[in-house]
Structure 1
């Protein structure tokens, strides 16, 4: 079985030549193809420049450990400069009309699609061990996100409010807030970078973006597409930063008086730190953090469909997605049948080094340290009495990043793996007998991002979905599912708060302003 074949579709595309250099209308910045070996620079006010102190850090291939290129490491001074430039650009970008913004995003979508035969496959394969399937998902989902964002241009609307006071007209309009500080992760580097900046920009804000230190070139593809499409200088500024410098520059940006919104996608550990800094200056955040998605399979479910969805939800991109299925909660009457079919499916999944064999479905995790952490959680659970149904308790590959799918049952609540996000190809199986037991088991987590319910009784599944503490619940489908129009996010705890996507994103990155107009001659009593 190949994960490329199940439960996910990407648009068919025409074979195109790599995007050729063109000159944009934004003051001379040109779209250009890049090579992986070239250094990566900061992008401030429409120009690629070195850091102010010429500091760099190496970006490595996670499987081989070889240095791919050196990347400029932004300093606190660079962040100050970028924020000032974003604040200046906001003064004019916020006044542009919806049609001008729409045209940029529609053009960027077409440019993005051309990257599938350009830099995207090499960049993502080398930086984050992405298979071609994951590259396609990133590229085409990002093009779709740009188009959906473009459609919101004329949907940012206000309202007229009746006034009790005679001679008064009241309206409430949505206005952009100013400079947004965004941090996007490495695991879906193009798509999540686009999500971090697209709606804020469409609303008239400007953005200072910190990409992951693991994938600067992949993430820069979203910036290149928008810049080539005509986004003016200063509207988006990109500051890759070394791991050593990240804490100090992030705190500076979060607390900077000209930064008025923060959005972050990443771990709950970092999200709590950012939320704490933002709380000291009372700034709003959109935080999409961790997940430990439960899937409940009832006794009347279509077992084959449920197995397919669990395999895809748990193992796509080696389980390194916040929406990945980690907990499978099975009705006791069908658990043995489900497990038998699940194990047969998992046995057919090809795991290995995608650099040597492009046909593999599961390649290496993003660092050897992370792979060791995942395996440590699994081994600790087995040592504590959990039963290993699949997996070899081994970490392989040149630097120890490749892990086969591991499936455990009899995991007790006092084991770390029962509560922390593994972010790897691991599934935990448990049983239930009553609906209340299933709901209690699914809700026994600090995470609240997403999950699934499988049942042929749609009304029963709907009732259960309403009882689950999740930001999204999918009936008879995988936990790993999102569209750009959906209000994606958790309901607190380790999954964060706030919403990306569609009109929910517009609400997050605009402010309501009350405007009143008084008819001349109004008499006010003292």
Structure 2
């Protein structure tokens, strides 16, 4: 229940003392909760004064109502960001670094408060939300340092008395469109990078999870980020297409940075093409998790739990297809099943001991259950889970393990984005590669082997932008994150993530002997 609704209800019930206590506790617990958009350093409403509700997916209660902005609001925010860019681009890298460091320090200090907002709107367990905050903060820390290392080049000239200079200049205004699965970290990963490069931005967070974005920019405001450098436009699912169109086509926009589904990414890419806008797209995956006979099976199972059930399977780099060598298949599946049934505890994110929360919305719940039902109808066998935990609510899907899955099933071809693991037998390295690469996605892949030569061969031949050997977690601020094929364009994190938001300028210095 939204804290204002809660207070009104308790006051009307006549329990004034209890209402005061509960209202104060709610305010303390969610003191970073903001119910207005953020433009030009101010908290604002939509020009229409319309709002939409943000729901907790665990129980469908209203967490808050935020402005339902439209294309005119988006245009105003982009103009604001363009005006701010005229001064922000000329700040020194040292000053940008200082501001990002202050933002990082405030986010670190407010870890618990940020996590509570994330859990309230996304449903993920509180411990996992705190992990997301730590992950998201690492990008602010990284780009605070990286801001001072975006360097140019001096190239030996082919002509006498001339000098060739290559310098990197900030692109300009960036439209940042972020998903619901990591509503805080996807913002810091993008905004930290573009600010380090000297760009400004307008953020359109997912309509399911706008509150994390607003909490993040509240701390950015406290950190002294200048007016107009970071702006947030909130919009409902109804207005999202028109707002997204403006954020891709508006004359002030120089780059679109998007994380989300491949389907939506293609639409945005098409809109960006009309103005030859730069794009940074981090799209869907269909990650293989490949286990060879030489692998440490117990370790592989431990890592499988991380690769599959982190964020209840709602991660673009989540393992999707478990390709297990026939020699170790039965052993792996037996241990995996036992680990799932012991470690995957389903429930609301605020409950102690819960490791898997609800799926984000009804559409996602329908998709996950539909893929499982289709596979079972075509011959797959459910070893664990395979249904909704209806006693908990309408979006709690049990952690599921399927075998007898084949390549003709939709669950093999599509990204599940839910708590469903499919185990498939393979006989050789060649067969594993063929199955792993038989997808239009190419984001992440996981390999488990003690054979060093095999590890290098697999890494070379897998058509994926990221490959983890003997590990189920590969995300960090330091490496370059991104995919190939239909999994995206560009890289996030690392110094490459900041360079993504720069243009390379060539300057010829001539007449040096005059």
- 2:37 matched residue in structure 1: 42
- 2:49 matched residue in structure 1: 54
Is 1:66 equivalent to 2:61 in the alignment? yes
- 1:375 matched residue in structure 2: 369
Distance, in Å, in 1 between the alignment partners of 2:441 and 2:349 is: 34
Distance, in Å, in 2 between the alignment partners of 1:290 and 1:362 is: 21
After the TM superposition, which parts of structure 1 deviate over 6 Å for at least 4 consecutive aligned residues? none
Is 1:348 equivalent to 2:339 in the alignment? no
Give the drift of 1:220. 2.0
Kept after mapping to 1: 8 A contact 2:162/2:512:
no
- 1:244 matched residue in structure 2: 238
Q: 2:424 aligns with which of 430, 436, 444?
A: 430
- 1:112 matched residue in structure 2: 107
Distance, in Å, in 2 between the alignment partners of 1:309 and 1:521 is: 63
Match of 2:191, SS state, is: helix
- 1:477 matched residue in structure 2: 471
Match of 2:238, SS state, is: coil
1:354–1:257 Cα change, 3 Å: same
Match of 1:326, SS state, is: strand
Is 1:446 equivalent to 2:440 in the alignment? yes
Q: 2:282 aligns with which of 274, 278, 288?
A: 288
- 2:96 matched residue in structure 1: 101
- 1:10 matched residue in structure 2: none
- 1:519 matched residue in structure 2: 511
Kept after mapping to 1: 8 A contact 2:346/2:356:
yes
Give the drift of 1:278. 1.1
Distance, in Å, in 2 between the alignment partners of 1:283 and 1:462 is: 37
- What pairs with 1:31-430 in structure 2 (closer than 5 Å)? 35=30, 40-117=35-112, 119-354=113-348, 357-397=351-391, 399-430=393-424
Match of 1:270, SS state, is: helix
Match of 1:414, SS state, is: coil
Give the drift of 1:456. 1.1
1:144–1:85 Cα change, 3 Å: same
Which deviations, in whole Å up to 9, do the C-alpha atoms of 1:484-507 show, x marking residues without a partner? 1211111021x1221111221122
1:344–1:312 Cα change, 3 Å: same
Paired residues, what number? Answer: 488
Distance, in Å, in 2 between the alignment partners of 1:404 and 1:367 is: 15
Q: 1:503 aligns with which of 495, 499, 504?
A: 495
Superposition RMSD in Å:
1.8
Match of 1:152, SS state, is: helix
- 1:26 matched residue in structure 2: none
Match of 1:154, SS state, is: helix
Match of 1:222, SS state, is: helix
TM-score (norm 2): 0.92
Distance, in Å, in 2 between the alignment partners of 1:56 and 1:356 is: 26
Give the drift of 1:274. 0.4
Distance, in Å, in 2 between the alignment partners of 1:155 and 1:39 is: 35
Distance, in Å, in 2 between the alignment partners of 1:275 and 1:436 is: 34
Give the drift of 1:518. 1.9
Which deviations, in whole Å up to 9, do the C-alpha atoms of 1:58-89 show, x marking residues without a partner? 11111211211110012211111111111111
Give the drift of 1:195. 1.0
Give the drift of 1:185. 1.2
1:216–1:192 Cα change, 3 Å: same
Which deviations, in whole Å up to 9, do the C-alpha atoms of 1:327-379 show, x marking residues without a partner? 11111111111111111111102433225732111111101231122011101
- 1:491 matched residue in structure 2: 484
TM-score (norm 1): 0.90
Q: 2:462 aligns with which of 461, 468, 476?
A: 468
Match of 2:372, SS state, is: helix
Match of 2:147, SS state, is: coil
Distance, in Å, in 2 between the alignment partners of 1:376 and 1:47 is: 44
Which deviations, in whole Å up to 9, do the C-alpha atoms of 1:150-205 show, x marking residues without a partner? 11122111111222333322201000011011111111111111112111111000
1:155–1:121 Cα change, 3 Å: closer
Match of 1:515, SS state, is: strand
1:95–1:341 Cα change, 3 Å: same
Compare the two structures and name the one with the higher helix fraction. 2
Distance, in Å, in 2 between the alignment partners of 1:88 and 1:330 is: 55
Match of 2:255, SS state, is: strand
